[in-house]
Structure 1
Amino acid sequence: RVSVVFFSKSARLVTLANVIAEGARAVEGADVRVLRVRDTIRGEDDASAYDRGILDCAVATPEDILESDCIIFGSPTRHGRMAPEMSAFFDRLAAFHSNGCALKGKIGSSFTEVGGAGQGYGGHEICLMTFHSFFLQHGMIAVGVP
């Protein structure tokens, strides 16, 4: 089971998530799902803050992560870091580490995008390294670009 888990208000990152999921589905027998991280920081009352269709995507839970063999996380990069909403989701997974490394041996990967004023460097590599730090902390197998 492959889970592509993202947080974004922008369709750009969701497009990446769907393309990654499409690639994973090309593997025979792969059970692939695309899930979004709920905005527990600002809430989701203002649907106009999200590009069309994002809030229609199923919401990721810690149980979804446990049930997955491979988890590919996506987040926009903000000041060289993942979005705080994704970080808050990772905080919800902290118990997996203290309860016998429940994520040990699972495959983890990540993707990001940067947009906004200037469209310049936004710390992509640093953001991806924060994901990899999470993978290593939990005994996961971190996979990057071949």
Structure 2
Amino acid sequence: MSVNLAVIYYSSTGTNYQMAQWAAEGGKEAGAEVKILKVAELAPEEAIAGNPAWKAHVEATANVPIATMNDLEWADAIIFSTPTRFGNVASQMKQFLDQTGGLWFQGKLVNKVVSAMTSAQNPNGGQEATILSLYTTMYHWGAIVVAPGYTDQSIFTAGGNPYGTSVSVDQDGNMKEDVRGAVQHQAKRVVTVAGWVKKGMQ
């Protein structure tokens, strides 16, 4: 029984897009049908144009589909990836989550299996708080939060965040920790649990 996994991300210069790709790899290895989806960009064009890395990333990912409420309804499992903004999710991700009221009201988000990832410029830059703030919305959905915990050695290699994979990024946009294995493990764990839930519900 295949699990539908939506990997929904926001990325300005590419870190969370890369993490989303790694999550998709892990999900596919676990047998899931996977969609990589971005949330809509809210920043004004002049702000994007003024940052060469941001502009380049927007252009490079122009073909990535924008996440919709239909994608949430389709998904059995969802992995979110967002940079931290003062210990909270990026406004682009928050706006997407704020649109889910209709699905929430209809009970269509109940028992979705969810997990989250994030990035910041330093290890104490709000990474854990960002993931936990996103999970607050998931609790209101009635979703099933599947954190990686300390279930694989790759989590320690990536810095040891039990809430979800997080990575520090230097001024040049390079990831400081090796998180690929942790992201893939997190995705596989999410797909495995979603498979259990889906089978149990049927």
What TM-score range do you get, normalising by the shorter chain?
Answer: 0.7 to 0.9
- 1:72 and 2:79 are equivalent in the alignment: yes
Q: Tell me the residue number matched to 1:89.
A: 96
Q: What is the rounded CA distance, in whole Å, between the counterparts of 2:45 and 2:69 in structure 1?
A: 19
Q: Tell me the residue number matched to 1:42.
A: 43
* Structure 1 unaligned spans of 5+: none
Q: 1:80-132 CA deviation, whole Å, 9 max, x = no partner?
A: 00000100000111222222x211011011100112xxx35211111101111
Q: What is the rounded CA distance, in whole Å, between the counterparts of 2:25 and 2:35 in structure 1?
A: 10
1:106 maps to amino acid: K
Contact 1:9–1:54 at 8 Å: present in 2 too? Answer: no
Q: What is the rounded CA distance, in whole Å, between the counterparts of 1:57 and 1:140 in structure 2?
A: 26
* Structure 2 unaligned spans of 5+: 150-202
- 1:107 and 2:108 are equivalent in the alignment: no
Rg larger in structure:
2
Q: Tell me the residue number matched to 1:10.
A: 13
Q: What is the rounded CA distance, in whole Å, between the counterparts of 2:27 and 2:123 in structure 1?
A: 30
Q: RMSD of aligned C-alpha atoms?
A: 1.7
- For residue 143 of structure 1, the aligned residue among 146, 156, 162 is 146
- TM superposition score normalised by structure 2: 0.65
Q: Tell me the residue number matched to 2:196.
A: none
State the secondary structure of the residue aligned to 1:55.
coil
1:43–1:93 CA distance, 2 compared to 1 (3 A): farther
State the secondary structure of the residue aligned to 2:62.
helix
Aligned residues: 140
Q: What is the rounded CA distance, in whole Å, between the counterparts of 1:32 and 1:97 in structure 2?
A: 22
TM-fit CA distance, 1:54:
2.3
Runs of 4+ aligned structure 1 residues displaced above 2 Å come to: 41-50
- 1:63 and 2:70 are equivalent in the alignment: yes
2:142 maps to amino acid: G
1:11–1:126 CA distance, 2 compared to 1 (3 A): same
State the secondary structure of the residue aligned to 1:56.
coil
Q: What is the rounded CA distance, in whole Å, between the counterparts of 1:91 and 1:125 in structure 2?
A: 21
TM-fit CA distance, 1:55:
2.5
1:104 maps to amino acid: V
Q: What is the rounded CA distance, in whole Å, between the counterparts of 1:19 and 1:78 in structure 2?
A: 22
Q: 1:57-101 CA deviation, whole Å, 9 max, x = no partner?
A: 1111011111100010110001000000100000111222222x2
Q: What is the rounded CA distance, in whole Å, between the counterparts of 1:43 and 1:56 in structure 2?
A: 19
Q: Tell me the residue number matched to 1:128.
A: 131
